[in-house]
Amino acid sequence: MYHQLNRLTGRLIASTHLQNPLFPVAPIVLQRVDPPAIQYNTTHMSTVTEATACSTGSRRLMPGTNIPYPPVSETIRKKQELFQKENDLPVHLKGGPVDAILYRLTMALCIVGLGGILHTVYTHAVPKKQ
């Protein structure tokens, strides 16, 4: 049985004219739709025209623009070469002795902090003897 609001009293009453629970909306059958094809970033999607890309020579353009990348300074180029060398060091130690000192200082502070946390948990868990 379906109910509706009475327009005069504002209370729920049994409905006599409702034929289905979706009255007055009838269900619509869903139609199967194929998912859209994924479009990867290719040259036909780029806003850069071929004439402007060739006019810059060997310089690469920023994606989606006609603006070439700015030149890289020499200090940044040296840092890139330093960090890209294959010398079996983790990246956080490739900067030299300063990085090693900072790494060890960070590890020491982590251990001190963990000790402080354990001390706090212990003092709250174990009551003081009276």
On whether both 67 and 80 belong to a single domain, the answer is no
Residue where one domain finishes, among candidates 71, 94, 111: 71
On whether both 92 and 48 belong to a single domain, the answer is no
**Averaged pLDDT for residues 2-10:** 77
On whether both 52 and 96 belong to a single domain, the answer is no
User: Rounded distance, CA 43 to CA 81, Å?
Assistant: 30
On whether both 85 and 116 belong to a single domain, the answer is yes
User: Rounded distance, CA 2 to CA 13, Å?
Assistant: 9
Domain harbouring 130, CATH code:
4.10.91.10
Residue 11 near residue 5 (C-beta atoms within 8 A): yes
- pTM for the predicted model, two decimal places: 0.44
On whether both 86 and 120 belong to a single domain, the answer is yes
Residue appearing with tokens 């590890």: 107
Does residue 5 lie in a domain region? no
Does residue 26 lie in a domain region? no
Q: What is the 8-class DSSP label of residue 88?
A: S
Residue 99 near residue 92 (C-beta atoms within 8 A): yes
Residue 26 confidence (pLDDT): 61
Residue 121's pLDDT band, with cuts at 50, 70 and 90, is very high
Question: How many separate domains does the chain show?
Answer: 2
Residue 56 confidence (pLDDT): 47
On whether both 77 and 127 belong to a single domain, the answer is yes
Q: Which residue has better confidence, 86 or 62?
A: 86
Range(s) of the domain holding residue 67: 39-71
